[in-house]
Chains A and B, each alone.
Chain A
Amino acid sequence: MSRTTAPPPPREARPTADRRHRNPTDVRRAGWSTRVVLLVLCALWMLPALGLLVTSFRPVDDITTTGWWTALGDVFDPTAWTTQNYVDVIVAQGMGNAFLNSLTVTVPATAVPILAAAFAAYAFAWMRFPGRNFLFIVVVALLVVPIFVAFVPIFRLFNTLGIQGDFLSVWLAHTGFGMPLAVYILRNYMAGLPRELIESAKVDGASHFQIFWRLIIPLSFPALAAFSILQFLWVWNDLLVALVFLGSAADVEVVTVRLQGLLGSRGQDWHLLTSGAFVTMIVPLIVFFSLQRYFIRGLTAGSLKG
């Protein structure tokens, strides 16, 4: 069941006949025009990020006086390059701790809203109850509320509950702020699943709870994975919510808050900003790559036959 072999084939299922078509020699090959277009797009998309990368390896005084591309001309000039910015960020007091805190905040703040949203999305998609469409529309409408609006009332609530400054408060806050989008996207995906599947499961006497866990969740995996990536990123890169509800005490501060502490209070320490941006990017990228495996074709087909 849980073979831990190399990625391809990226599923635990036996390779069935129709999976064979996924190998690169079949008809689904991209033509050269497609490749060129993609290449151009990638180059455009990369250019600013490349600028960030180059900048992060430059001495602080160079950054604001000459363009980053000039450093590319001095590739072999040792004075044009430095790793000091990274050293400053990585060995900064409490950075390791901040990474742990970020994970502590992010993992539940990603999983809990998705869990709650998945339940709600299922109900919105496949259950009938009074007020269904109205409630759904309200949830979507709330996407437009800027979160600053909620800070003070929520803060007051957490104070009353006595959880202000605990991880629980941030989990709840992110769950609240991330919920509308999660419900909206997951409901759309679940509503698109084949009706016969759910009907036949009901005929077999499965309860809603069983249908949800055994059928809907596995079938919605691409959407769940996609949304997990997004929610993870938002929470990981969030500064304000963490600052307001957790604060910057050493034992709870997250990476973004720690990074802000490294930056000058009035200045623009661009050398630290740029290197810090890359250091904090590591984890989201790992998440992205590891969840990409679930973006595979034919999940529905496979499970239908299974």
Chain B
Amino acid sequence: MRSLLAHSRLWILLVAVALAIAACADDAEDVTDEGPDDEDVEEPEDEEPDDEEPDEDAVDDEPEEDTGIEGEAVSIMTPFADDEEQANFLSTIEPWAEEHGVEVEHEGSDDFETLINTRVEGGNPPDIALFPQPGLMRDMADAGDMRDLDEVLDLDAVEDSLIEGTLDDGTYEDEVVGLMYRLNLKSLVWYPVPEFEEAGYSAPETWDELEDLTAQMVDDGNVPWCIGIESSGATGWPATDWVEDIMLRTAGLEATDAWVEGELEFASDEVRGAFEHFEDITGGFSDEYVLGGNTGMVTTNFGDSSEPMFEDPPACYMHRQAQFIQGFFPEEVQENPEEHVDFFPFPPIDEEHGNPALTAGDIASLFTDNPAAEELVQHMATAEAGEPWAEAGGFLSAHEGFDTSLYPTDIEQRQGEFLTEASFARFDPSDDMPAEVGTGAFWTEIVDWIAGETDLDSAVEGIDESFPE
């Protein structure tokens, strides 16, 4: 009996603590409710695209579905974990949802892969999911978990609207199961503008010029490259991006496709050549050419690796990374990007292949036959859907005719132009490879190679061996 009393006292104590915490938290929330805190969540009314009619040419003409979804709910899963990104994503969905009286249940998480696997395998998929990598999406399509979007969208119209080749990224065995929603442009090299110009450097337009520039920097006693390829379980991906960007420029689109299919081996001259180009331009990963040398590369987190560019004087001068890296720049740079930073397109190598764009992005897939979700996908297939996010920044549209003037900065506007002018766009090849390779051996072997634990021969051999039979 005694012990029970002791027990109950313990619970009372716990409850009291909980009460206290809850009370504090409630107070805190009250404060924020009155504050200007909600600004970034609420969309200013007048900016909503007021098209009552969904874009005619991108939607199946089945008007009778327009009714009857009122009061329905649509569940969406995304890899957007932080609040800001979630709010931005929802700003592209909410106006539509309010207009149609649909409730959106959004779940965004860092552990997207684990969660979506569990949910789909467990037989309770969300209506819509946004995949950051098509590999996982294709696995699920292979298992027959997804809808063929041909049943929902007028694919010809969508294909016309999208940047060429983008529809293929969501295609699996002749079925379109995914729709590119947010594009990520990877072929960019960033540099700190004032210091760069002060030192008398100018943005190179060809590979040769880039080689000269790096040599010049080393002569001046400056370090050309900031490279960090550490990324938790995905360590190595920034290095594979380098190789892929070079591959597009030295071997071209067809060779890249053959490479993805496993027809062109990693040990082939073309692919090895791309690895070697990477090694050359970074001076064999020496610390004269790369901040921290090869150890620095494998230990520095990709998100932190651009930071030394903005030191005074810059500890390194160039950083090849996709456009999302802007969100990782130091605060004062982000507040006023045009004053501090700029990019040049990763330069062409072989004229024959021009200046392609390496891309990635978030691809939307439909799992259920919920009519409200179908209509939402139709909305997401329009160029206009992305406008609120584009205006907030950090969003590139996959649509050809997207109004680039909506992008908030000159930098983003020029990225949009680069995309539309590129000789061709190719979705990240390693994402298209079988998972054993693209998220497995390619990453691990390239890290070992850079760290100096293996030589190039055994690295490419190791990757080739990992291709499933």
B1-38 interface with A by 8 A CB criterion: 1-3, 5-6, 9-11, 13-14, 17-18, 21-22, 24-26, 28-29, 31-32
A86-123 interface with B by 8 A CB criterion: 90-93, 95-97, 99-100, 103, 107
CB of B105 closer than 8 Å to a CB of A: yes
A85: min CB distance to chain B, Å:
14
Among B14, B307, B328, chain A packs the most CB atoms within 10 A around the CB of B14
Complexed CA–CA distance, A135 and B10 (Å): 33
Given contact pairs A152-B121, A156-B123, A96 touches B21 in the complex (Cβ within 8 A): yes
Contact A290 B10 (CB under 8 A): yes
**What residues on A are CB-neighbors of B5 within 8 Å?**
1-2, 12
B331-377 interface with A by 8 A CB criterion: 331
Complexed CA–CA distance, A268 and B82 (Å): 11
Complexed CA–CA distance, A264 and B122 (Å): 28
The segment from A30-38, A42-50, A182-190, A241-249 that touches chain B is A241-249
Complexed CA–CA distance, A263 and B123 (Å): 30
The segment from B54-62, B110-118, B281-289, B430-438 that touches chain A is B110-118
**What residues on B are CB-neighbors of A1 within 8 Å?**
2, 5
Contact B21 A262 (CB under 8 A): no
Closest to B11 in A: A107
**What residues on A are CB-neighbors of B409 within 8 Å?**
none
Q: Number of contacting residues on A, CB 8 A?
A: 56
Complexed CA–CA distance, A217 and B83 (Å): 46
Complexed CA–CA distance, A156 and B3 (Å): 39
Contact A244 B79 (CB under 8 A): no
Contact B82 A261 (CB under 8 A): yes
Contact B105 A249 (CB under 8 A): yes
Contact A260 B10 (CB under 8 A): no
Contact B304 A64 (CB under 8 A): yes
Contact B111 A243 (CB under 8 A): yes
If over half of B's interface residues share one DSSP class (helix, strand or loop), that class is named, otherwise mixed; here it is: helix
**What residues on A are CB-neighbors of B119 within 8 Å?**
155
CB of B327 closer than 8 Å to a CB of A: yes
**What residues on B are CB-neighbors of A239 within 8 Å?**
111
**What residues on B are CB-neighbors of A267 within 8 Å?**
303, 327-328
B73: min CB distance to chain A, Å:
12
Complexed CA–CA distance, A159 and B120 (Å): 11
Complexed CA–CA distance, A306 and B11 (Å): 26
Q: Beta-carbon contacts of B263-274 to A below 8 Å, as 1s and 0s?
A: 000000000000
Contact A152 B122 (CB under 8 A): yes
Contact B25 A99 (CB under 8 A): yes
Given contact pairs A248-B107, A261-B83, A217 touches B3 in the complex (Cβ within 8 A): yes
Closest to B83 in A: A261
Contact A291 B10 (CB under 8 A): yes
Contact B2 A152 (CB under 8 A): no
Q: Beta-carbon contacts of A270-302 to B below 8 Å, as 1s and 0s?
A: 000000000000110011001100100000000
Q: How large is the interface on B (under 10, 10 to 19, 20 to 34, 35 or more residues)?
A: 35 or more
**What residues on B are CB-neighbors of A164 within 8 Å?**
122, 124
Complexed CA–CA distance, A267 and B31 (Å): 28
CB of B85 closer than 8 Å to a CB of A: yes
A201-260 interface with B by 8 A CB criterion: 214, 217-218, 221, 239-240, 243-244, 247-249, 257, 260
Closest to A303 in B: B2
CB of A265 closer than 8 Å to a CB of B: yes
Contact A261 B81 (CB under 8 A): yes
Contact A266 B123 (CB under 8 A): no
Complexed CA–CA distance, A219 and B30 (Å): 47
Complexed CA–CA distance, A64 and B304 (Å): 8
Given contact pairs A91-B32, A103-B14, A243 touches B109 in the complex (Cβ within 8 A): yes
CB of B462 closer than 8 Å to a CB of A: no
B457: min CB distance to chain A, Å:
33
Complexed CA–CA distance, A92 and B84 (Å): 12
Contact A290 B6 (CB under 8 A): no
CB of B80 closer than 8 Å to a CB of A: yes
Contact B107 A260 (CB under 8 A): no
**What residues on B are CB-neighbors of A287 within 8 Å?**
14
Complexed CA–CA distance, A268 and B230 (Å): 12
Choose one: A159, A221, A247, A263; the contact of B107 (CB below 8 Å): A247
Choose one: B6, B28, B115; the contact of A90 (CB below 8 Å): B28
CB of A151 closer than 8 Å to a CB of B: yes
A117-164 interface with B by 8 A CB criterion: 148, 151-152, 155-156, 158-159, 164
Given contact pairs A91-B31, A100-B22, A260-B110, A266 touches B324 in the complex (Cβ within 8 A): yes
CB of B314 closer than 8 Å to a CB of A: no
Contact A156 B85 (CB under 8 A): no
A132: min CB distance to chain B, Å:
27
Complexed CA–CA distance, A93 and B115 (Å): 23
CB of A61 closer than 8 Å to a CB of B: yes
**What residues on A are CB-neighbors of B331 within 8 Å?**
60-61
**What residues on A are CB-neighbors of B81 within 8 Å?**
260-261, 263-265
**What residues on B are CB-neighbors of A90 within 8 Å?**
24-25, 28
Complexed CA–CA distance, A297 and B21 (Å): 33
Complexed CA–CA distance, A216 and B121 (Å): 44
CB of B101 closer than 8 Å to a CB of A: no
A235: min CB distance to chain B, Å:
13
Contact A265 B80 (CB under 8 A): yes
Closest to A1 in B: B5
Complexed CA–CA distance, A84 and B313 (Å): 29
B112-165 interface with A by 8 A CB criterion: 114-115, 117-119, 121-124
**What residues on A are CB-neighbors of B28 within 8 Å?**
90-91, 95-96
Complexed CA–CA distance, A155 and B121 (Å): 8
In the assembled complex, 16 residue pairs joining A and B whose CB atoms fall closer than 8 Å, in A order, are: A2-B5, A13-B2, A61-B331, A90-B28, A91-B32, A96-B24, A99-B25, A107-B14, A156-B121, A159-B123, A214-B1, A221-B3, A243-B109, A243-B111, A247-B115, A265-B79
What is the interface of chain A, defined by CB distance below 8 A to chain B? 1-2, 4, 12-13, 60-61, 64-65, 90-93, 95-97, 99-100, 103, 107, 148, 151-152, 155-156, 158-159, 164, 214, 217-218, 221, 239-240, 243-244, 247-249, 257, 260-268, 282-283, 286-287, 290-291, 294
What is the interface of chain B, defined by CB distance below 8 A to chain A? 1-3, 5-6, 9-11, 13-14, 17-18, 21-22, 24-26, 28-29, 31-32, 79-83, 85-86, 105, 107-111, 114-115, 117-119, 121-124, 301, 303-304, 307, 324, 327-328, 330-331
Besides the contacts A152-B118, A240-B114, A263-B81, what 13 more A-B pairs have beta carbons closer than 8 Å?
Answer: A12-B2, A61-B330, A90-B24, A107-B14, A155-B122, A217-B3, A243-B114, A257-B109, A263-B82, A263-B110, A264-B81, A265-B110, A290-B13
